[in-house]
Amino acid sequence: MCSWTAAEPDMVVKNRLVGFLLWQSILSSLIYLAFTITIVSWRSFTAIFASFFSFHLSQLLFSVSLSFVSSPKPKFRRIFPVLLVVAAVSGSLSAVSLCGINGRVGFKGFASGLFFAAFYIYKRRWVLQFPIIQRPLFFSFKMGIPSAIARALKLSAAAYLFSALLLVFLPHNFSTNLELPNFFAQHVTSYAASFSMFLCWELTHHLHQVLHTIRFIFAPPKGSAAAETNPSEPLLAALEETSPASLLKYLAYLDLCMVCENNVDYWRRAAFFEETGETYKRVAAVCLGPLEQLASKLVQGLEGSPDDKTYSISDQLQSSTNRQNSKCSELMNDFRVYTWSARAIASLTAHSRKEDRFGVAQLSGSNAAVISTLIASLLAVETLMGKKISLQPSHNLMGAFGTKSATFGAGRRDVRAGKRRDDPLYAKAYAMADVLRTSIYCIVSAFHHEMLASAKAGLLEKDWIASGKPPFGTRELLLQKLHLFLDFQAS
């Protein structure tokens, strides 16, 4: 786990790239030595040195291309053709390095590299997957070794058959005729080389994922002058000034979420509640911004209107086209930023009840803005899921805690909603809805007594619903949904 230093923010990603290339060279060396000792121990020292150098060069080419293609945001990259070419060249050079200069061997390596790159792109493995639980670097890497070995075995077998089929279509003079013992020895060596290449690529991919998704602490060292004066500035600068699709932005949101949720960095969370309230407003803005964008753009993606026509929005979902789904799918590409934002601002709001000594969260009106944005985002996501959302009459019966109950038709869903559960878009929508509900319940549980008092006095809307127009639905719709949360009936 890394921490902030005096270096520029751009150096964070560069340092991780350099570290990745160094550790990758160690992995390549170990795999090459294991192959040389067990398979081709009869080579001379000069031949071993030359093949070792060429093998490292091939893996370096693959690692660099992997770093340029990878991104935390699942969006198609135009650089993919470059990855296909580089992986094919890397595979050919690696195969020749392991088995010696031979046309058949070079072609098989070329086909294996092309096969791996195509599989890599098809499975969207270029997207950086942040782990749910942050572990130390060694344990995170160790946990992925068994799956990397198993996948390398499967892929090497499939690639070996793929390259063997391609050899059938080559000219006859490109093939070789060997005696039966040499024939089997050559195929054993060829498959061992293929497995070594795929294992190296799999471990390289896993190492790249681990090194680039481990948490980075955007804070000066505890006890330093910067930590005493303004410890939140490095984190806020990374959140506000970096590009939306950059790795640094994702690392900053991850760090913010962990600071707000956990008590390990209590001193950093306490700095958010400084006396002027400016830091808290900036934190709330970087968290609520993505959620407001989610709610408003979901309406546009469904070809709805941000007006009060909540009935028509649900009806339009039933006749949505592939173009609408494409818009919503592209919007949900920032799923992790949305979840980190919701979890961070909900935890920070809940902790403000006991940790906000100056009352900046309440005085700035952030509490009402947070609740309104979270509920509006939840309603927008539930609409995407096909849930019927409508405003109920104001004369409903009182709930168990004296709050007005509201029904949102939890059992009335789009008739095609069941078929959509296998769609990745709707899988993210269901997960996003769970995160938003949990975040709202986190705040409601912390302020339950205050909210009930406001509800009995008829001030719940004034105290906990923002005065402006919400990004989705109406203030009355948000108020009814909040009543459901107060009665712990929202689902």
The Cα 174–Cα 157 span in angstroms is 22
Residue in 2, 458, 443, 31 with CA at minimum distance from that of residue 216: 2
Q: What pLDDT score was predicted for residue 348?
A: 96
Q: How far apart are CA 20 and CA 23, in angstroms?
A: 5
Stated as kind and residue range, the H or E segment containing 2 is strand 2-3
pLDDT of the residue at 306 = 42
8 Å CB contact between 148 and 203:
yes
SS3 339: helix
pLDDT band at 239 (very low <50, low <70, confident <90, very high): very high
Q: Which is more confidently placed, 339 or 191?
A: 339
- Sequence-ordered alpha helix ranges (H) in 310-459: 310-318, 322-331, 335-355, 360-363, 366-384, 417-420, 424-446, 448-456
Who has greater pLDDT, 142 or 389?
142
Which tens digits make up the pLDDT trace of 392-421? 665 343 444 444 444 454 444 443 444 455
Distance CA 339, CA 351 (A): 18
Percent of the residues in the chain that have a pLDDT greater than 90, as a whole number: 52
Q: From CA 10, how far away is CA 242, in angstroms rounded?
A: 9
pLDDT at 462 over 80: yes
pLDDT tens by residue, 5-26: 434 666 888 999 999 999 999 9
Residue range 350-393, pLDDT digits in tens: 999 999 999 999 888 899 999 999 999 999 999 888 887 777 66
CA 476 to chain centre: 34
More confident residue, 474 or 320: 474
Residues of the chain above pLDDT 70, percent = 81
Average pLDDT (439-461) is: 95
Q: How far is CA 329 from CA 295, 307, 335, 426, 427, in A?
A: 14, 23, 10, 9, 11
What is the predicted pLDDT for the residue at 427?
A: 84
Which pLDDT value is given to residue 375? 96
Element (H, E) at 217: strand 216-217
